[in-house]
């Protein structure tokens, strides 16, 4: 009887291990490498700890960001904005690294490193960034959320 119990327990343990290792987690198999097109965005301004409101980005054919992350740690950020009927666009290359949920990026020619948190699935990338500065003694915090779809 003891041998049968040991075999039964071992079988249950092995089955449970197989069951849990075969479950897919969207982040586990996802890669940031590829081209991502902005589908939405918002920003919140906080003055001295009090929110001044949230503003949604206008995302359309003339107002968007498209980022391409390459497997060699480089990226290209294409930005298009329409203002007073005129469309202005620019492309800015740079480098990036990922550690956990932190995306660090630096644009070519700049020394500043931007550190943002992000979440990732096979089809969607969401980047969260925060910036803070002081102006006339007031502390302003800006929180940005930008959602991209894989192209």
Distance CA 97, CA 102 (A): 8
First to last CA, the chain: 59
The yes-or-no verdict on residue 55 having pLDDT over 70 is yes
DSSP structure class, residue 23: S
pLDDT in the model for residue 30? 77
A 10 A CB-CB count for 102 gives 11
Q: Where are the beta strands (DSSP E) in 49-113?
A: 50-56, 64-69, 74-83, 86-99, 102-107
Residue pLDDT, tens place only, 99-133: 999 999 999 999 999 999 999 999 999 999 999 99
Give the mean model confidence (pLDDT) for residues 60-89.
96
Give the mean model confidence (pLDDT) for residues 139-147.
97
pLDDT in the model for residue 57? 93
Task: Please answer whether residues 103 and 96 qualify as being in contact, where contact means their C-beta atoms are separated by less than 8 angstroms.
Answer: yes
Fold (CATH) for 27-150: Lipocalin (2.40.128)
Give the mean model confidence (pLDDT) for residues 68-78.
97
Give the mean model confidence (pLDDT) for residues 44-52.
97
Higher pLDDT, 4 or 48: 48
Instruction: Give the residue carrying structure tokens 């980022």.
Output: 67
A 10 A CB-CB count for 92 gives 14
**pLDDT-above-70 percentage for the chain:** 81
């Amino acid at each position: 009887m003891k041998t049968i119990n040991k075999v039964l327990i071992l079988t249950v343990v092995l089955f449970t291990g197989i069951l849990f290792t075969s479950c897919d987690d969207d982040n586990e198999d996802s890669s940031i490498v590829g081209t991502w097109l902005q589908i939405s965005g918002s920003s919140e301004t906080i003055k001295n700890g009090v929110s001044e409101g949230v503003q949604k980005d206008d995302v359309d054919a003339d107002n968007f960001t498209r980022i391409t992350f390459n497997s060699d740690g480089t990226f290209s950020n294409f930005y298009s904005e329409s203002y007073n009927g005129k469309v202005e666009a620019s492309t800015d290359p740079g480098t990036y690294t990922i550690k956990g949920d932190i995306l660090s990026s630096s644009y070519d020619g700049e020394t500043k490193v931007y550190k943002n948190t992000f979440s990732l699935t096979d089809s969607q990338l969401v980047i969260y960034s925060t910036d803070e500065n002081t102006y006339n003694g007031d502390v302003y915090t800006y929180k940005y959320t930008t959602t991209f779809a894989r192209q």
